[in-house]
A = this chain, B = another copy of it.
Amino acid sequence: MDLKRIRNSSLHTKIMSAEEACNFIEDGMTIGMSGFTRAGEAKEVPRALAEKAKVSPLKINLITGASLGNDLDKLLTEAGALARRMPFQVDNTLRKAINKGEVMFIDQHLSETVESMRNNQLDKPDVAIIEAVAITEEGHIVPTTSIGNSASFAMFADKVIVEINMLHSDKLEGMHDIYIPEARPNRTPVPILNVDDRVGAQAIAIDPSKIVGIVFTNKSDSFSTVSDPDEETDQIAKHLVKFFEKEVEEKRLPENLGPLQAGIGNIANAVMMGLLDSKFTGLSMYSEVLQDSTFDLIDAGKLDFASGCSIILSERVNAQVFDNLDKYRDKLVLRPQEMSNLPEIVRRLGIIAINTALEFDIYGNVNSTHVCGTKMMNGIGGSGDFARNANISVFVTKSIAKGGAISSVVPMVSHVDHCEHDVDILVTDQGLADLRGLAPRERAVQVINNCVHEDYREALLDYFERACERGGHTPHLLEEAFSWHTRLESEGSMKKA
């Protein structure tokens, strides 16, 4: 505990234990929590809440930025404390509960959650729980490694609990840029014109009298579990770098490509790593989550500036960054997810969006969320915010999954997160399909020739040819469209025996 972290001394009386803070949380409440892609979540109060729920059952409606670290979604699920959860998650225990219909999960475009609250279409939080580096003289809250929806949650809630995390460097102060759009009908354009523009405040401005509890912690963020690039992700990166080179050569992209966004997970991170070996310099990011690759690219002198909404790093890179924050100070900004993902800015800046598909189909529709059309993996996250408004919308995936039992390129996706209009470029380890300006039948030829794994190519071509015989702008054989998925479910593989 370090009282210097609470610079508004009138708030010193609000220091309490996590268990005491839990008393502000009642059954049926909506709770808004910090945390985005397992970074910057409040750690003590939700853990204490899970313990409490085990003995005196209670259910809350939990809304965060995105996913939580430190197994909090797991603990809360196991304690039966989650009635409703939005807008994103990545936890295996919670995922199972969602897929059993035990927790109502509302999967949302990440830029939209607080917008819906502002317009009274979603309940505002009764209590906000926000992890902070410090509280300022004015009683404003300085976030930690993510902003997510924290600022709006704290503004909307009647009661705010702050968790001061002593493990986070106080040098994080000054790295945030907190801009909140006006309520309609008097909203003005968001004045961000460049990735490095600072247009807001360094701390979350709320009336300090709303702060009802302050809890101290020493727990670290969870380390990211991204796997190292492998042969397939190297291939994906190679295809994409080659494509970028051609785009620059043909003057469709500037030398520095324009701002990049890269999605969460192993593949997007590995693809960004691929830029390390490219000739591109002067790169910038306007993205949601900043992963290892961002900092490796900065260190290599390739990336000049990164705007994001959270930082999630592996153990290797974590020390490299947080022990040397001064080095990155003028190369980084963290924004609320409403700003990092805002369609207005994505379109204005001309972002290249690189997100990951679970599967895509011959016409370029993308499924990022539902295994076999039904089971939720994580959620759509910010991929839709970026893909629709991007200058170039890229989706990447390995051509096969589960040792080849699954083809990630299918006749028809079993769930659509991104319709063909929002998908320009598809890349697998097999190759790249450039779908821009093509009609569906032409798109199919590109996808079949370039993206599908050889084990599935013939069957996919056969499907397409037979569908074309039947006709239509987007030829399909509806009675067979999901046969690959049903075969997987019944026989354990999409391959014909």
Contacts and interface: CB of A to CB of B under 8 A. Distances in A.
A106 B374 contact: no
Chain A interface, DSSP helix/strand/loop, else mixed: loop
A48 interface: no
A184 interface: yes
Nearest to A188: B193
A380 B421 contact: yes
Given A191-B189, A478-B373, A472 B99 contact: yes
Contacts of A391: 119, 184
A473 B251 contact: no
A375 to B, nearest CB: 5
B478 A184 contact: no
A442 interface: yes
Contact of A107 (B121, B421, B436, B475): B421
B189 A104 contact: no
A105 B416 CA distance: 21
A194 B187 CA distance: 9
Interface in A170-190: 184-185, 187-190
A322 to B, nearest CB: 31
Contacts of A112: 421
Contact of A104 (B105, B442, B478, B479): B442
A416 B370 contact: no
A347 interface: yes
Interface string A370-404: 10111110001000100011011000000000000
B478 A187 contact: no
Interface in A441-497: 441-442, 467-468, 470-476, 478-479, 481-482, 485-486, 489
Interface string A328-340: 0000000000000
Contact of A184 (B109, B349, B380): B349
Contacts of A468: 101
A183 to B, nearest CB: 9
Looking at A101, A376, A380, the one whose CB has the most chain B CB atoms below 10 A away is A101
A298 to B, nearest CB: 20
A252 interface: yes
Nearest to A189: B189
Contact residues on A (Cβ < 8 Å of other chain), bracket = 35 or more
A348 B187 contact: yes
Interface in A113-133: 115-116, 119-123
Interface string A403-438: 000000000101111110100100000000000111
Given A343-B343, A471-B100, A121 B190 contact: no
Contacts of A470: 374
A99 B439 CA distance: 11
Looking at A106, A191, A250, the one whose CB has the most chain B CB atoms below 10 A away is A106
A373 B421 contact: no
A84 B299 CA distance: 47
Nearest to A388: B388
A208 interface: no
Contact of A438 (B106, B194, B251, B372): B106
Given A189-B190, A375-B472, A482-B482, 13 more contacts: A101-B468, A106-B439, A109-B421, A187-B349, A187-B350, A343-B388, A343-B389, A344-B347, A373-B476, A374-B474, A374-B475, A388-B388, A418-B419
10 contacts: A100-B471, A107-B473, A116-B437, A184-B391, A185-B194, A185-B254, A187-B348, A189-B193, A376-B474, A479-B482
